Structure 1
Amino acid sequence: MQSHWDESPSFFILRGASVEQRPHITNPPVYLLGIDTSTTVGSVALFHHQIPILSTTIYLDKSHAQLLARGIDSLLALAGITSRQLSAIALSQGPGSYTGLRIGASTAKGLCFSLDIPLISVDTLASMAHQVLPFAAPEDIFCPMIDARRMELFWCLYDSSLQPLWPVQAHVLSPESENLFLNYSHVWIFGSASTKAAPFLGTDRFQKVEDIRPSALSIGHLAYSKWLNQQFADLAYFEPFYLKEFYSNKLTNDY
């Protein structure tokens, strides 16, 4: 099912940091809202008892603060619930677009404060790797990449349990970039920077996947283990993981 209206996101019905201490929680949240604004293609997803029921893609521009708020309101209305029924909000924490991350964090924190519900922050790059896991072997390695500017990108390396093998970092592509992967036999590369990175990673050890981007659906899925482990962001001090300063008007289209 898909709905369309001017300047509003389309919706798809789907079936099928520091830690704040809160009272012990054993059950998953009834309704969880996932938010990703780490790139120019943002998204919001609603989960009910761990099952995604609604998702929307929001093509962000200079008015993306308003678009995000409108998208959330429309998503909840289409689901037939109010924000008061949300149990938690899961947020893509970065790295990514400085402005996008800032708007996402401001919106999510505002909702959490007003509703007195926890905020769960999720590694943006890990959420991308999560999308590739079903296609990979247990011994495979995953390298999500987000385009930054010129020959720069944000990336990290994960194993099949989504444990990072090196820190999330900003990297400038060069002929030496391939040497960072010499200890790995099969590496999946994907994300908005993978096309520009591929010529620098030219051996048979790499397998490129198209159309993988940060997603509120993956953010929501990964948030559930954090919920059960009571790994909540401290609302008073939470800041997105910007990684580097914002380059105004000099970003690539994918950033």
Structure 2
Amino acid sequence: MLLLSIDTSTRGCSVAVHADSVLLSNYDLNTDKSSSSMLTTLIKNAVEQAGYGLNDLDAVAVAKGPGSYTGLRVGVSTAKGLCYALDKPLIAINTLEAMSLQVIPFFSKDTLFCSMIDARRMEVYASVFDFENNSILETKAIIMDEHSFEDLLHNNKIVFFGDGAEKCKKLLSANENAIFLNEEIRPSAKTVGQLALKFFTESHFENLVTFEPYYLKDFMTPPSRKAALAV
């Protein structure tokens, strides 16, 4: 099974190609707006580096969110366009769940894992997983304070990571059960592909007509300067 995976949940973009469980190629760009300007080029390069053409793909997987409104729209629109053109199924993966796979192998089985994506100010998109990547706390938008995750931290060590974790460090680091990584963990198409393999074997595909990114909350646009002056 040949799978193309795409992740544009935050700034930058990531593309990977797997043949069954083997990673054949991977590209990551972590610069602003690279998803809109470079995504199709990275897809072409990743598939060619793997030794295949787009028509050889069996499915396309995309990180559905939560994350950047613009980034998610670019990634999902590109994935849906490929699936329409190639007549391939679409697989959608929770971004936070895929992120946790990058961290889980490095800790003990009694640890919990909190993936976090910055949602501006003191808000984060977050979800908590156990060692087998089962969801302990469903994906939600959380306004952080010193009491956040208090119940879980009382009896569990929790590893916090992602670009939303830094703003939480001052609030939670006094708790001996809160662990913060020195290295920033970014969303990656590599782990999107790992999760998508199971979805493919279970024929867990999305409807190309109705599928939309998982924004988690409504997109808010600031009022224009003209409108402000007119008031």
C-alpha distance 135-229 of structure 1, shift in aligned 2 (>3 A): same
Partner of 2:144: 173
Picking from 175, 193, 211, the partner of 1:203 is: 175
1:46 maps to 17
SS at 1:73's partner residue?
A: helix
1:184 paired with 2:155, answer yes
Normalised to the residue count of structure 2, the TM-score between the two structures is 0.89
Matched, 1:151 2:122: yes
CA distance in 2, matches of 1:193, 1:130: 17
Point out the structure with the larger helix share.
2
- Tell me what 2:229 maps to: none
C-alpha displacement of 1:183: 4.5
Q: CA deviation at 1:77?
A: 2.6
Indicate yes or no: 2:223 matched with 1:223: no
Q: What secondary structure sits across from 2:102 in the alignment? A: helix
Shift of 1:94: 0.4
The alignment yields a C-alpha RMSD, in angstroms, of 1.7
SS at 2:5 equivalent = strand
- The alignment's TM-score, normalised by the length of structure 1, stands at 0.81
Q: In 2, Cα distance between the equivalents of 1:88 and 1:39?
A: 23
Give the drift of 1:182: 3.9
Cα shift readout 1:6-37 (whole Å, capped 9, x = no counterpart): xxxxxxxxxxxxxxxxxxxxxxx1x1111000
CA distance in 2, matches of 1:207, 1:61: 28
What's the CA shift for 1:169? 0.6
Q: 2 CA distance for matches of 1:215 and 1:63?
A: 14
Size of the aligned set, in residue pairs, is 220
1:52-82 deviations in Å (ceiling 9; x for gaps): 0111012454463341111111222333321
* 5+ residue gaps, structure 1: 1-28, 250-255
Q: Report the counterpart of residue 212 of structure 1 in structure 2.
A: 185
Query: Matched residues in 2 for 1:184 and 1:240: separation?
Result: 34
AA paired with 2:209? Answer: A
CA distance in 1: counterparts of 2:28 and 2:190, whole angstroms: 10
Q: Is the 8 A contact 1:58 1:68 kept in 2?
A: no
CA contact (8 A) 2:3 2:61 kept: yes
Counterpart residue number, 1:236: 209
| Deviation of the 1:46 alpha carbon | 0.8
Deviation at 1:118, TM superposition (A): 1.0
Asked if the contact 1:89/1:118 (under 8 Å) is kept, the reply is: yes
Give CA-to-partner distance per residue, 1:139-167, whole Å, 9 cap, x none: 21110110110111110111112111122
1:60–1:240 distance in 2 versus 1, CA, 3 Å: farther
Mapping 1:1-255, distance limit 5 Å: 29=1, 31-62=2-33, 64-201=35-172, 202-209=174-181, 210-247=183-220
Percent identity, please.
Answer: 39
2:179 alignment partner AA: Q
Cα distance in structure 1, aligned partners of 2:152 and 2:178: 9
The answer (yes or no) to whether the contact 2:12–2:33 under 8 Å persists in 1 is no
SS of match in other structure, 1:72? helix
